[in-house]
Amino acid sequence: MSLMFSGHAGVMVVLMILALFLSLLSLSSAQRPNIVFIVADDLGWNDVGFRNPDMKTPNIDKLATEGIIFENAYVQNLCSPSRTAFMSGMYPFHAGMQHEVLLPGQAVCVPLNYTFLPQELKKLGYATHMIGKWHLGFCKWECTPTYRGFDTYFGYYNAAEDYYNHSTGWDPSLDYHDNLLHARNYSGVYSAFTFAQRAVDIIHQHNASQPLFMYLPYQNVHAPIEVPKMYEDMYPNVVNTGRRIYSGMVSALDEAVGNVTQALKDRGLFENTLILFTADNGGPLERYANNWPLRGGKHTVWEGGTKGASFMYGAGLQKTKTTYDGMIHAVDWKSTLVSAAGGTPETDIDGMSHWDSIRSGLPSSRTEFIYNIDDFEIPVEGHAGIRVGDYKLILGYPGGPDGWHRPMNRTQDDIFEQTVYTKGDRPIHLFNIREDPTEHNDLAQQMPDMVAKLRARFEDYKKTMVPANFPNTDPASDPRLYGGAWTPGWC
Ligand SMILES: *[C@@H]1O[C@H](CO)[C@@H](O)[C@H](O)[C@H]1NC(C)=O
Ligand SMILES: *[C@@H]1O[C@H](CO)[C@@H](O)[C@H](O)[C@H]1NC(C)=O
Ligand SMILES: *[C@@H]1O[C@H](CO)[C@@H](O)[C@H](O)[C@H]1NC(C)=O
Ligand SMILES: *[C@@H]1O[C@H](CO)[C@@H](O)[C@H](O)[C@H]1NC(C)=O
Ligand SMILES: *[C@@H]1O[C@H](CO)[C@@H](O)[C@H](O)[C@H]1NC(C)=O
Ligand SMILES: *[C@@H]1O[C@H](CO)[C@@H](O)[C@H](O)[C@H]1NC(C)=O
């Protein structure tokens, strides 16, 4: 009896060990895909070669056309809000990040109790690296990339700095950092080269027994409009100077993407790498970007401000060389990448995983999303909208500029003219985005019931809003108090 029992228990133990071994095997780090998440700053819908043959982006086009191009991947209309969504999987209006972008001296960062994407991937065994633009707050070290899940960081905390001297705001005010140190010795070097080289170095030094996560939020193609002349010279047919330089900036980005993919190939990592590429917001028309045929641009909740030029390529995708028209929002990328990594997405965040849908070309399970809720009334009002099913409701001022614009190419010094807005002009717009993706046909007057339905849903979301955190600039942030460089430690 006792012998039989111990024999039975022995079999059980062997089976348990086998099951444990198999489960460990299925979760083995080496099998998880490497993930490269590239964000192009201020890239317009129509600024990529796979949409606009005037753009020279062969590396991006190859990945996009051999992967999956997203036709309905939405982002926020501005930088800090989109990056909040990418890293936390939360809507900016839940994080107090819904108004404008972070200004350099504001003592604000994305709530520290939010878990960021690299922290989730570290739990799955990933090495995590970030190169580029943060823009999620840096007033104390706890707010900065290496305290929020990244093993290494090279880049800048703010926005709109010079591509060569890496300064923004007061002078001198360096904003370039190599992990915890100021990176003072890159003056005169265009950031796209430094970022690509750092990415290549990391890939070459990476210990392949661990999966790699690289977050690469590029400075290109945000203003200031600057690029080495050789890239500008790729566009002799573009008459407008700003558009010509901007186009060159896109091609410099494309070359960087090419260098990063080449390094992955050289290291034998490419076959097991998943690449996600997205813009952070629509292109700013006044800074030479283009979103044709979509309406509006950066700063607006029109489709031109909120549809990201975006695609995925690589490991795990089954139905490729195609487009995907399911609805995706910026808050979803965190859960989607965690799923792609073999992890379990969080259930208490705004985002949801679309991994199974995207990889097999199945419908998206997202049926609605918030474009934005901006409760900070002065100096703007509006910038608010919701999508439910095929319909989109815009409440208040959508933001400027408005209209439909071809790439700027009329005269050498042509500049874009902003639409003048009168407060309270058009309180409500309603569109059927499936039938009218370019927002030509306002249905608000014709469909009052649909307006009421979407407005009620919007109000449901608004009840969960955290007030916008948008304080005055803190004088204690002044980089001149820190040897002329933006430095944490003043909140
Ligand atoms: C973070 O803290 C805020 C304020 O205390 C709270 O409202 C929110 O629910 C917390 N969020 C998470 C994800 O823990
Ligand atoms: C950096 O370049 C900008 C022009 O883009 C200039 O205004 C600024 O003074 C320069 N800053 C330094 C510290 O050289
Ligand atoms: C800048 O200095 C750091 C630290 O000494 C060094 O690792 C890096 O290679 C230098 N970069 C350049 C471009 O000189
Ligand atoms: C890409 O790599 C080539 C070859 O090393 C180099 O000449 C070029 O400057 C790199 N481009 C970028 C944008 O880093
Ligand atoms: C890579 O990591 C593994 C596991 O930690 C270790 O055994 C191996 O020595 C490392 N390889 C190199 C080249 O550092
Ligand atoms: C810009 O306009 C010129 C003529 O003014 C034309 O030759 C050229 O093809 C256009 N370029 C683009 C990229 O549209």
pTM of the model: 0.93
Residue keyed to tokens 């991947």? 73
114 close to ligand 1 (CB < 6 Angstrom):
yes
What tens digit of pLDDT does each residue of 108-150 get? 999 999 999 999 999 999 999 999 999 999 999 999 999 999 9
Nearest CA to ligand 4 atom 4: 259
Nearest CA to ligand 4 atom 13: 256
Indicate if the alpha-carbon torsion angle 456, 458, 459, 461 is positive or negative: positive
The per-residue pLDDT for 28 is: 64
Above 90 in pLDDT, residue 415? no
Phi and psi at 156, nearest 5°, equal: -135, 155
- Provide the pLDDT confidence category of residue 414 given band limits of 50, 70 and 90: confident
Between vectors from CA 420 to CA 419 and to CA 424, what angle results, nearest 5°? 120
Which of ligand 2's atoms lies nearest the C-alpha of 162? 5
Q: Which residues are catalytic?
A: 79, 135
Which of ligand 5's atoms lies nearest the C-alpha of 210? 2
Measure the CA–CA gap between 428 and 151, rounded to whole angstroms. Answer: 46
Measure the CA–CA gap between 152 and 150, rounded to whole angstroms. Answer: 5
The per-residue pLDDT for 378 is: 52
Q: Give the Å distance between the CA of 195 and the centre of ligand 3.
A: 13
What tens digit of pLDDT does each residue of 311-360 get? 999 999 999 999 999 999 999 999 999 999 999 999 999 999 999 999 99
CA of residue 67 relative to chain centroid, distance: 18
Ligand having the closest approach to the CA of 163? 2
Q: Give the Å distance between the CA of 192 and the centre of ligand 4.
A: 9
Ligand having the closest approach to the CA of 480? 2
pLDDT over 90 percentage in the chain? 85
- Sheet containing strand 181-182, edge to edge, reads 181-182, 177-178, 152-156, 127-133, 212-217, 34-40, 273-279, 310-314, 68-70, 322-324
What tens digit of pLDDT does each residue of 233-282 get? 999 999 999 999 999 999 999 999 999 999 999 999 999 999 999 999 99
The per-residue pLDDT for 444 is: 96
CATH of domain 31-366+467-482: 3.40.720.10
CA distances from 468 to 95, 314, 378 (A): 8, 38, 12
Q: Give the Å distance between the CA of 208 and the centre of ligand 4.
A: 24
The per-residue pLDDT for 221 is: 98
484 close to ligand 2 (CB < 6 Angstrom):
no
Which of ligand 6's atoms lies nearest the C-alpha of 54? 13
Above 60 in pLDDT, residue 158? yes
Ligand having the closest approach to the CA of 112? 1
The per-residue pLDDT for 3 is: 41
Q: Give the Å distance between the CA of 54 and the centre of ligand 6.
A: 9
Assigned token pair, 321: 């060389």
207 close to ligand 5 (CB < 6 Angstrom):
yes
Q: Give the Å distance between the CA of 207 and the centre of ligand 5.
A: 6
User: Which ranges of 285-409 does DSSP label H, i.e. alpha helix?
Assistant: 303-306, 332-340, 355-360
171 close to ligand 2 (CB < 6 Angstrom):
yes
Out of 158, 166, 167, mutate this one to test ligand 2's pocket (max ligand atoms within 8 Å of CB): namely 167
Measure the CA–CA gap between 423 and 426, rounded to whole angstroms. Answer: 8
What tens digit of pLDDT does each residue of 72-90 get? 999 999 999 999 999 999 9
Kindly calculate the radius of gyration of the chain based on its CA atoms and give it in whole angstroms. Answer: 23
